[in-house]
């Protein structure tokens, strides 16, 4: 029996079935989280504020935050790359940048407990939405059931859209993991203050549309964590 080779349309259909909607370009985001030794937290942040310009000279920083509730003594940062090749070139340049290595890396490595690095794409229905003014951020990380967006993507999008469509929250971006722990989705929200977040959540939890959408999406959820993040002075996202 001879099976003809698959056509491009067939391959696209298979990709859609297996992984859900696909990104149509190479842009992706590197999400980094560092855990800092408590006794070095202040020193780390001071040195970072003084030297971060050496790192941003090599590639685009999307945002940089210190952790509050749910993330004490941690920092989170997101970097944008045009492609994996772009990141490889940047990493090579950073590794051979004597100022960055000598004035920052060599000093902060002893201050760190751990590092986690993920590669993620913005989901096709999301783009970075920069807030108009300074506030606080909530990073909500969802560990979804195996199967990818083809299984849970639609329900997840409906749950997020129920909140944004009603004007409850400012959505900054939705990121889906590519390398790291798979089936992980990071949702970044902005609020004027923690008190505003609390008030919005109280109102949203009484909205039947939001409740129904969330009830559907949680059937695909394995775990969830929430972190309150504060932007550093040099963060592009404030």
Q: Which fold has domain 28-231?
A: Alpha-Beta Plaits (3.30.70)
- pLDDT tens digits, residue range 154-183? 999 999 999 898 888 899 999 999 999 999
Distances in Å between the alpha carbon of 177 and those of 5, 86, 147, 154?
31, 19, 13, 17
Task: Indicate the SS3 state at residue 17.
Answer: helix
74-81 and 184-191 strand pairing: unpaired
Task: Indicate the SS3 state at residue 185.
Answer: strand
Length of the chain (residues) = 238
Q: How confident is the prediction for the chain on average, in pLDDT? A: 90
Residue 187: partners with Cβ closer than 8 Å, 6 or more residues away: 139, 140, 141, 142, 160, 171, 173, 174, 175
| pLDDT over 70 (residue 4) | no
- pLDDT tens digits, residue range 125-140? 999 999 999 999 999 9
């Amino acid at each position: 029996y001879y099976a003809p080779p698959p056509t491009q349309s067939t391959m696209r259909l298979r990709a859609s079935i297996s992984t859900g909607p696909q990104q149509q370009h190479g842009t992706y985001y590197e999400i980094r989280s560092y855990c800092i030794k408590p006794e070095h937290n202040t020193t780390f942040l001071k040195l970072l504020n003084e030297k971060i310009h050496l790192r941003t000279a090599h590639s685009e920083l999307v945002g940089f935050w210190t952790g509050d509730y749910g993330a004490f003594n941690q920092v989170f940062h997101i970097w944008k790359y045009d492609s994996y090749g772009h990141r490889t070139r940047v990493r090579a340049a950073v590794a051979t940048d004597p100022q960055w290595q000598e004035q920052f890396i060599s000093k902060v490595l002893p201050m760190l407990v751990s590092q986690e690095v993920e590669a993620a794409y913005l989901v096709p229905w999301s783009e970075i939405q920069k807030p108009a003014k300074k506030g606080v951020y909530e990073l909500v990380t969802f560990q979804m059931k195996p199967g990818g967006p083809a299984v849970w993507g639609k329900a997840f999008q409906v749950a997020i859209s129920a909140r944004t469509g009603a004007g409850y929250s400012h959505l900054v971006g939705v990121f889906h993991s590519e390398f790291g722990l798979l089936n992980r989705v990071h949702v970044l929200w902005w609020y004027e203050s923690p008190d505003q977040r609390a008030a919005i959540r109280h109102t949203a939890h009484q909205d039947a549309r939001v409740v129904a959408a969330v009830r559907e999406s949680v059937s695909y959820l394995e775990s969830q964590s929430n972190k309150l993040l504060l932007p550093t002075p040099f963060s592009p996202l404030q």
